[in-house]
């Protein structure tokens, strides 16, 4: 029985080029690709992900996160996009900015800051 399972797995790997480690390896190389929408011209889906600020702040505290702000646009037709995401490290925050600079056709602003900014009126 175990030999059949191994043979089936080998066939899947040969035919599809998929291994149990492919997904993990791809996630390490391209940690933000899974956030992209199918149309490839909308804001990344941050809500509910590991980069959701509400979840990150709840886990690490307001003073211990790095918050990324990105705004830009796509053309044909023109669509403005903005994104706010939170990270545990400054390096990961900067990596997200680089990712977004490659994703958007035009970047209007991109910045990382330490701490969670809730806005002018401190609404959560």
Q: What residue ranges do the domains of the chain occupy?
A: 1-30, 36-124
Q: pLDDT at position 7, please?
A: 39
Q: Which one, of 100, 117, 91, 84, lies nearest residue 32 by Cα?
A: 100
Residuewise pLDDT in 10s, the chain (124 residues): 444 443 333 333 333 344 444 456 556 667 888 888 878 778 889 999 999 999 999 999 999 999 999 999 988 788 899 999 999 999 999 999 999 999 999 999 999 999 998 876 665 5
Dist CA 8 CA 27 (whole Å):
25
Q: pLDDT at position 4, please?
A: 47
């Amino acid at each position: 029985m175990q030999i059949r399972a191994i043979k089936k797995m080998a066939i899947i790997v040969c035919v599809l080029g998929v291994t149990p480690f492919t997904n993990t390896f791809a996630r390490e190389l391209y940690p933000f690709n899974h956030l992209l929408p199918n149309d490839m011209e909308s804001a990344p889906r941050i809500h509910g992900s590991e980069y959701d600020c509400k979840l990150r702040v709840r886990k690490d505290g307001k003073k211990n996160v790095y918050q990324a702000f990105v705004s830009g646009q796509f053309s044909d037709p023109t669509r403005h996009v903005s994104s706010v995401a939170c990270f545990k490290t400054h390096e990961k925050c900067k990596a997200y900015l680089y990712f977004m600079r490659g994703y958007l056709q035009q970047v209007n602003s991109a910045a990382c800051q330490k701490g969670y900014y809730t806005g002018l009126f401190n609404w959560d």
